[in-house]
């Protein structure tokens, strides 16, 4: 259900990217898009109210069980609020390290932050670096160990490396992909439930 809402929001965002302005035809297009998306969601059993205005999308939905969700899309920012808490995704130039990101987890120096997922149980960062995968991997191994993290898993194949760390009730997963340039880094830190 949440995935369908997010996809609907992103679809509406794509429709909005065709043009901006306050022409009557664009206002009609926004309202028509809202009604089409609302009808589509209602076929899946959701009661949804969709508001598209000035390039922003707000979807308030109630599923068959009475659970409410609110999805807001504004440019590269997506926020989803529901019964399990709030999740947000920011990409591109707006991606910034959250203040609550754990200080004992290395964010690779010189890497460009390309995406940030903030979840109730943790964080997921995507980054890019000009450094080689082996250099990045060795830096993480040394820094995570010095911060008290225990390496509990390691997998390496071709140009991909995966490292898994544990500390207290938290797990950190690091994926380094040198299959492309720049090197892609995905770092997930979650608290176990």
Which of 54, 82, 110 marks a domain boundary?
82
Residue with tokens 């720049």: 182
Is residue 138, in this structure, part of any structural domain at all? yes
Is residue 67, in this structure, part of any structural domain at all? yes
Closest CA to 58 of 119, 24, 8: 8
Instruction: Give tens-digit pLDDT for 121-164.
Output: 999 999 999 999 999 999 999 999 999 999 999 999 988 999 99
Which of 23, 58, 82 marks a domain boundary?
82
Which of 29, 48, 82 marks a domain boundary?
82
Q: What is the CA radius of gyration of the chain?
A: 20
Is residue 164, in this structure, part of any structural domain at all? yes
Q: How confident is the model at residue 93 (pLDDT cuts 50, 70, 90)?
A: confident
The total domain count for the chain is 2
The verdict on 110 and 170 lying in the same domain is yes
Q: Mean per-residue pLDDT for 4-17?
A: 46
Name the pTM for this structure. Answer: 0.69
The verdict on 78 and 106 lying in the same domain is no
The verdict on 66 and 98 lying in the same domain is no
112, pLDDT greater than 90:
yes
CA distance 17 to 21: 11
């Amino acid at each position: 259900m949440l995935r369908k809402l997010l996809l609907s929001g992103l679809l509406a965002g794509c429709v909005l990217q065709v043009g901006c302005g306050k022409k009557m035809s664009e206002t009609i297009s926004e309202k028509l898009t809202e009604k089409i998306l609302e009808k589509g969601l209602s076929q899946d059993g959701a009661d949804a109210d969709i508001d598209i205005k000035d390039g922003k999308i707000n979807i308030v939905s109630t599923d068959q069980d009475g659970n409410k969700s609110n999805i807001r899309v504004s440019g590269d920012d997506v926020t989803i609020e529901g019964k399990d808490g709030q999740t947000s995704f920011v990409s591109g130039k707006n991606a910034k390290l959250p203040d609550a990101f754990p200080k004992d987890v290395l964010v690779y120096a010189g890497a460009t932050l390309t995406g940030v997922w903030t979840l109730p149980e943790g964080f997921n960062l995507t980054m890019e670096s000009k450094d080689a995968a082996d250099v990045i991997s060795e830096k993480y191994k040394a820094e995570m160990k010095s911060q008290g993290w225990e390496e509990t898993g390691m997998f390496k194949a071709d140009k991909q490396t995966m490292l898994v760390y544990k500390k207290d009730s938290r797990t950190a997963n690091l994926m380094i992909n040198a299959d492309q340039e720049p090197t892609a880094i995905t770092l997930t830190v979650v608290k176990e439930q």
